[in-house]
Amino acid sequence: MNHLIPKTMKLFLIILLVFPMLACSENVEISPEVTNNEDNEYEFSSDFYFPLPDEIGEVHESEELDFQVQTVLSGLNVAWGMAFLPNGSMLITERDGNLRLVREGQLIEEPVGGVPEVYARGQGGLLDIVLHPNYEENGWIYISYSKPGSGGGITAIMRAQFDADSHSLTNVEDVYVGQPFTTARHHFGSRIVFDPEGYMYFSIGDRGDMDTAQDISNSHGNLFRLYDDGTIPEDNPFVGRNGLDEIYAYGLRNIQGMAVHPETGVVWSNLHGPRGGDELNVHNKPGANYGWPEITYGINYNGSIITEDTEKEGMEQPVMHWTPSIAPSGMAFVTSDKYPAWKGDVLNGALAFQLISRIVLDGEEYVHEERILEGIGRIRDVREAPDGYIYFSNESNGTISRILPLD
């Protein structure tokens, strides 16, 4: 929580803050101080990834805290994923196939080189990006993308290392390529996360052919679990059985957000339903069937019925569902001390409803939803960065912003 400090104490605070930093720079505190004078004006100190604003703009009120939205980058083209590097730089995927570098708070005009060709059609392109949990030791960066090939495109996972001198990816290799390829322009997935044990999870959508999500002999409509090099864990649920060994769960229409619970280490996801029936799911059962399209809370876009069933034995129920659809996208659990009233909550970007959905949980049970920043634009990704701030990308205006709490 930020502290309110009289402006008359500003010089004294600067002395207190600067002196320790000169003596021991490795202990510089990233968190900002906020000052407040009698005219209710605020002032922020500097920060790690981007400078903080000199004064408060519009104040947004929510149930638990007041906050400001600071736009830190603009000029992006459908910023799909964000990765925050430990040196204060940032990598951003643009769906059309460009990888962009942010250095010292500035977007570098020239795209990063070495990025493979992408199947940039419809919802396909350059998608998610995450760092290996041991990035500082091995430098691996993981990217999901729609890979072109004979028969169209399919979601693939590549890894590479970034060479700053050449401004290019090096040692590029695919660690997974789905199958089959198809000319469909939608439902590629695809988010990537690593759990605390180092397993890599990622998603591929049903590619617009709903019945494939119940067929575990193909890659469509699934959640996958692999080692970081693309090899298959021997205890994956379909090893030695019918079905692809790499599948961890199935019956998932089109996962668009994924995050690891900060206390349990379990993977959670959100997905797009059809017309209604967007879902928030917890993936705590290896081999689980999430039912699509045999069960759903949605209907076809033309209003026709997909199925009368919303539940069946042997099929998982969502933690909650959004009907009508908000089109959830990137998601993050809040763990930062900067948002104490939001700790443990799930933030979901929303494309269709153009907002951020805050979900309050009790364990694995849904408690409450608050919708913030309604009408701000199509929110593609939401991340909590190492500096403790929540960042989100807005594909409606090509920006990345962050939420600055004022309480």
Using CA atoms, how far residue 329 sits from 44, 65, 123, 159, 336, in Å, is 30, 23, 13, 23, 21
The encoded tokens of residue 116 equal 């493979």
Q: Tell me how crowded residue 224 is: count the other CB atoms within 10 A of its CB.
A: 27
Burial class (CB in 10 A: 0-12, 13-18, 19+), 1: middle
Strand partners, 154: 147
Instruction: Render pLDDT for 254-308 as a digit per residue (tens, 0 to 9).
Output: 999 999 999 999 999 999 999 999 999 999 999 999 999 999 999 999 999 999 9
**Any idea which residue has 């617009």 for tokens?**
208
pLDDT at residue 32, rounded to an integer = 39
pLDDT at residue 46, rounded to an integer = 52
176: helix, strand or coil: strand
**Any idea which residue has 């979900």 for tokens?**
359
| Residue 2 φ/ψ, nearest 5 degrees | -75, 150
What's the predicted TM-score (pTM) here? 0.89
Instruction: Render pLDDT for 76-85 as a digit per residue (tens, 0 to 9).
Output: 999 999 999 9
pLDDT at residue 12, rounded to an integer = 35
Question: Quick check: 34 pLDDT over 90?
Answer: no
**Side by side, which strands form the sheet with 126-131?**
126-131, 141-149, 152-163, 168-177
11: helix, strand or coil: helix
**Any idea which residue has 């008359």 for tokens?**
8
Catalytic residue among 187, 220, 261, 272: 187
Burial class (CB in 10 A: 0-12, 13-18, 19+), 133: middle
Instruction: Render pLDDT for 299-348 as a digit per residue (tens, 0 to 9).
Output: 999 999 999 999 999 999 999 999 999 999 999 999 999 999 999 999 99
Using CA atoms, how far residue 283 sits from 223, 267, 297, 308, 364, in Å, is 9, 5, 19, 25, 10
187 has catalytic annotation: yes
CATH architecture of 60-405: 6 Propeller (2.120)
The encoded tokens of residue 23 equal 């003596």
Instruction: Render pLDDT for 89-111 as a digit per residue (tens, 0 to 9).
Output: 999 999 999 999 999 999 999 99
Question: Quick check: 64 pLDDT over 90?
Answer: yes
Nearest-CA neighbor of 390 among 360, 325, 346?
346
Question: Quick check: 383 pLDDT over 70?
Answer: yes
Percentage of the chain surpassing pLDDT 70? 88
Where residue 241 falls among pLDDT bands split at 50, 70, 90?
Answer: very high
Instruction: Render pLDDT for 344-360 as a digit per residue (tens, 0 to 9).
Output: 999 999 999 999 999 99
pLDDT at residue 47, rounded to an integer = 73
